[in-house]
Amino acid sequence: MTTPMIELREVSRRYDDGPPALRHVSLTVRSGEAVAVLGPSGSGKSTLLNLLAGLDRPDTGTVTVAGVRVDELGETGAALHRRNRVGMVFQFFNLLDDLTVADNVVLPARLAGMGRAEADRRAAELLESLGIDRHARVHPGRLSGGERQRVAVARALMNRPALLLADEPTGALDTAAGQDVSGLLADLNAEGQTVVVVTHDLALARSCTSRTVRIADGRITEDVPSRNLAPETAR
Ligand code: ADP
């Protein structure tokens, strides 16, 4: 048995006096899996992502990513975890508009201490493999939403993360651009990248993941092959 990429055990998290955001969530994701976390607004999806990224800690339970107990990391350790072990893609891209596309992509590697020449080389490779190398010298504001999300994916992959986390990656895109980004995530997974996509979009779950975990009121209510998700079960 290889070490799972993600192991959540009995994770609970509650903010202030609100209802629990997560209740006794246990989940194992193998290396190389692509998993969608599907659920309505407020169901606990972002809380789950934040715990995996080390942006937050559970009240009880354990969070292990790539063999590392993320719930036990201090601030510095959590920052290093995010820099080296996870890549994150967001709904609104979170690119720096003052920098060129190439400099956005290079940034995580530079922060991790990679030399300029090597970082430039890696960024150029990624931009080419993602089909956006012709935009390397422009600023992200000049690009379409779909192109910007490709840049964000390149940036997320820069430090060769064990785990790619995507939070509603198609939420701000039109249908065609959304399908493009979804196809890109599927391709990355086919190459071995472990991917967790948080979404309330059933079509996205079906098109780029093989397994879907449904979450409601902070609990996992369903864990099924994504192809078994019938469109009419959307809710
Ligand atoms: P989702 O991502 O599925 O929309 P969230 O994980 O953001 O759900 O939220 C789950 C629950 O936790 C909600 O009731 C939300 O209001 C609450 N919550 C999330 N983040 C915070 C926070 N920083 N402070 C207080 N309550 C929060």
CATH numbers and ranges of domains, the chain: 1-85+161-226 (3.40.50.300), 91-159 (no CATH)
> In a structure prediction context, what are the per-residue pLDDT tens digits for the chain, which is 235 residues long?
678 999 999 999 999 989 999 999 999 999 999 999 999 999 999 999 999 999 999 999 999 999 999 999 999 999 999 999 999 999 999 999 999 999 999 999 999 999 999 999 999 999 999 999 999 999 999 999 999 999 999 999 999 999 999 999 999 999 999 999 999 999 999 999 999 999 988 999 999 999 999 999 999 999 999 998 876 544 4
User: What number of other Cβ atoms are within 10 A of residue 128's Cβ?
Assistant: 13
Q: Which residues contact 169 (CB under 8 A, 6 or more apart)?
A: 89, 90, 91, 149, 153, 181, 182, 185, 197, 199, 204
Nearest CA to ligand 1 atom 27: 15
Maximum CA extent, the chain = 51
Q: Is the CB of 41 under 6 A from ligand 1?
A: yes
Nearest 5°: phi and psi at 195? -135, 135
44 lines ligand 1 (CB under 6 A): yes
